[in-house]
């Protein structure tokens, strides 16, 4: 296997983008990534696009060819493929791109993700997202994503004594980071009181415990490390890209407060990179709901089970803490255009490791991403280093 580097990144502003079409969102991110890598589109050998549900959100399928066409990449008739694993669709695109470059099949590959979720009403969005769980045994009996994660939160709080305040602190910290991120959907600081008093969505989760509904796109360009300095002075190495799966239904899990697929993908990534959690300087985890960040910190080995609430309360996951978590603002504040999230996480780590993260810059040489599909049926973890 060849060593692989990320040489270009591009992320659109996240939010409600009425003025931009689905296809143009991706083209914007892809053009930024090409410019960042000082290369032109005709140098690309292959493209993977993470997208969960364009068929429901914008009534469009056949996303690989559509995006290649509107990005001006059809001249060389390159392979262009959509990857789908619900909210881990972007993570999957990155892993496919990594695999094809590492294997020697291709030299320059673009991995992107795009979702435009706000063109339909809230009930369509909630129903489309419910398709990431088990439609027959969960969706059809009324289980929504906030509902499923509320069950995890209830179980976790009961067993490990996590307080309502500690849960809120996850959101407060992520909003503080997002307020420093120019592309974030909700660039505003909030308090524990704001979270606890926000509208109840699915008890115990409140509005400010939930990631929002978002439009956005992100793209990164990978190539073999030996070619990387042709394109950038600051290539970032891909030290690991690992994936794991688990049961699609929450009720079939061994333990609903531990995502076994996170544990498995994390262990595989650490083994591949030859590092331990102690050597990771920062991590972007999949905080689709505040409880998801609490579970992720533990399942990835940054603290023991039951201790993530205290770690958060002590400020260890904030900027300047021992393990900064979600410096981008995470899904909660930066936003969660589901197919794009896994790629935005990689772009955030690359920006941080290059020292280009502005007011949210942390001191790290190795960073990790954690992207979850559904309630943990698919997990992709990547580790990147300078």
Q: Residue 325 carries which DSSP code?
A: B
Binding track over 81-110 against ligand COA, x by CB under 6 A:
------x-----------------------
Q: How far is the CB of 212 from ligand COA (least distance, A)?
A: 4
87 is catalytic: yes
Tell me how many degrees the CA angle 108-33-268 measures, rounded to the nearest 5: 60
CB 267 to ligand COA: min, Å: 23
Contacting residue, 15, 30, 204, 212, with ligand COA by CB under 6 A: 212
Task: Measure CA 49 to chain center.
Answer: 14
**Least distance (Å) between residue 47 CB and ligand COA:** 25
Q: Tell me the three-class secondary structure of 41-64, residue by residue.
A: HHHCCEEEEECCCHHHHCCCCCHH
* Closest to ligand COA by CB, 16 or 107: 16
CB closer to ligand COA, 324 vs 335: 335
Cα 90 from chain centroid? 7
- By CB under 6 A, tell whether 122 contacts ligand COA: yes
CB-nearer residue toward ligand COA: 41 or 374? 374
DSSP 39: -
Q: Which stretch binds ligand COA (CB under 6 A): 99-107, 133-141, 205-213, 344-352?
A: 205-213
Rounded to the nearest whole angstrom, what is the least distance from the CB of residue 268 to ligand COA in the complex? Answer: 22
213 binds ligand COA (CB under 6 A): yes
- In the list 51, 89, 177, 211, the residue contacting ligand COA (rule: CB under 6 A) is 211
Set 87, 210, 223, 303: catalytic member: 87
For residues 12-71, which are near ligand COA according to CB under 6 A? none
**Residues 6 or more apart in contact with residue 123 via CB below 8 angstroms:** none
CA 47 to chain centroid: 19
* Residue 20, phi then psi, degrees to nearest 5: -120, 135
Determine, following the binding rule CB under 6 A, whether residue 186 of this chain makes contact with ligand COA: yes
How many angstroms separate the Cα of 102 from the Cα of each of 158, 240, 337?
Answer: 45, 11, 28
Interface with ligand COA, residue 177, by CB under 6 A = no
Contact assessment for residue 184 and residue 175, using Cβ atoms and an 8 Å cutoff: no
Q: State how far the alpha carbon of 51 is from the alpha carbons of 11, 107, 298, in Å.
A: 15, 23, 28
- Virtual torsion, Cα 225, 227, 233, 235, nearest 10 deg: -30
User: What is d(CA 341, CA 64) in angstroms, rounded to the nearest whole number?
Assistant: 17
Window 217-246: residues binding ligand COA (CB under 6 A):
none
Nearer to ligand COA, 162 or 210 (CB): 210
Quote the least distance from Cβ 94 to ligand COA, whole Å.
Answer: 18
Q: Which stretch binds ligand COA (CB under 6 A): 66-74, 206-214, 231-239, 345-353?
A: 206-214
What residues have CB less than 8 Å from 104, skipping those under 6 apart? 2
> Per rule CB under 6 A, is residue 126 in the interface with ligand COA?
yes
Q: Point out which span in 47-55, 200-208, 295-303, 348-356 binds ligand COA (CB under 6 A).
A: 200-208
Rounded Cα distance between 99 and 20, Å, is 32
Asked whether position 357 contacts ligand COA by CB under 6 A, the answer is: no
Number of residues that bind ligand COA (CB under 6 A): 16
- Residue closer to ligand COA by CB (options 80, 288) is 288
Tokens of 214: 């978002």
CA distance 149 to 299: 16
Calpha distance 47→79 (Å, rounded) = 6
Question: Could you say which residues in the range 257-286 bind ligand COA, by CB under 6 A?
Answer: none
Can you tell me which of 9, 29, 114, 210 binds ligand COA, judged by CB under 6 A? 210
* Annotated catalytic residue within 175, 286, 336, 370: 336
Q: Which of 48, 57, 94, 145 binds ligand COA (CB under 6 A)?
A: 145
- Do residues 213 and 219 lie in contact, with contact meaning Cβ atoms separated by under 8 Å? no
**Would residue 336 show up in a list of annotated catalytic residues for this protein?**
yes
For 218-245, the three-class secondary structure string (H helix, E strand, C coil) is EEEEEEEHHHHCCCCCCCEEEEEEEEEE
- Tell me which residues touch ligand COA (CB under 6 A): 87, 122, 126, 129, 145-146, 186, 201, 207-208, 210-213, 288, 336
Instruction: List, by residue number, the catalytic residues.
Output: 87, 336
């Amino acid at each position: 296997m060849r060593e692989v580097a990320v040489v270009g990144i591009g992320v659109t502003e996240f939010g409600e983008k009425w003025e931009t079409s689905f296809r143009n969102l991706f083209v914007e991110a892809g053009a930024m990534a090409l410019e960042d890598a000082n290369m032109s589109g005709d140098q690309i050998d292959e493209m993977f696009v993470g997208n969960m549900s364009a068929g429901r959100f914008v009534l469009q399928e056949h996303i690989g060819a559509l995006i290649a066409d509107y990005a001006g990449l059809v001249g060389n008739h390159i392979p262009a493929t959509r990857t789908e694993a619900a909210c881990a669709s972007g993570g999957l695109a990155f892993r496919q791109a990594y695999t094809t470059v590492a294997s020697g099949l291709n030299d320059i590959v673009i991995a992107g993700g795009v979702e435009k979720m706000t063109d339909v009403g809230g009930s369509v969005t909630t129903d489309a997202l419910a398709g990431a769980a088990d439609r027959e045994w969960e969706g059809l009996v009324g289980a929504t994503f906030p509902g499923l994660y509320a069950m995890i939160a209830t179980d976790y709080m009961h067993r490990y004594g996590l307080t309502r305040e500690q849960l809120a602190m996850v959101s407060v910290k992520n909003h503080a980071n997002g307020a420093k991120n120019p592309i974030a959907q909700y660039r505003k600081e909030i308090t524990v009181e704001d979270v606890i008093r926000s509208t109840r969505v699915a008890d115990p989760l409140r509005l400010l415990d939930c990631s929002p509904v978002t439009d956005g796109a992100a793209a990164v360009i990978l190539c073999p490390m030996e070619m990387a300095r042709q394109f950038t002075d600051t290539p970032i190495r891909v030290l690991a890209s690992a994936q794991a799966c688990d049961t699609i239904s929450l009720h079939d899990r061994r333990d609903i407060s531990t995502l076994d697929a996170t544990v498995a993908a994390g262990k595989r990534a650490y083994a591949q990179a030859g590092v331990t959690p102690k050597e990771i300087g920062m991590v972007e985890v999949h905080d689709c709901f505040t409880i998801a960040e609490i579970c992720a910190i533990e399942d990835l080995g940054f603290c023991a089970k039951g201790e993530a609430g205290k770690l958060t309360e002590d400020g260890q996951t904030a900027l300047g803490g021992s393990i900064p978590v979600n410096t981008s603002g995470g899904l909660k504040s930066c936003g969660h255009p589901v197919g794009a999230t896994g790629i935005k996480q990689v772009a955030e780590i690359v920006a941080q490791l290059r020292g280009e993260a502005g007011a949210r810059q942390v001191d790290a040489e190795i960073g990790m991403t954690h992207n979850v599909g559904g309630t943990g049926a698919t997990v992709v973890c990547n580790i990147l280093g300078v």
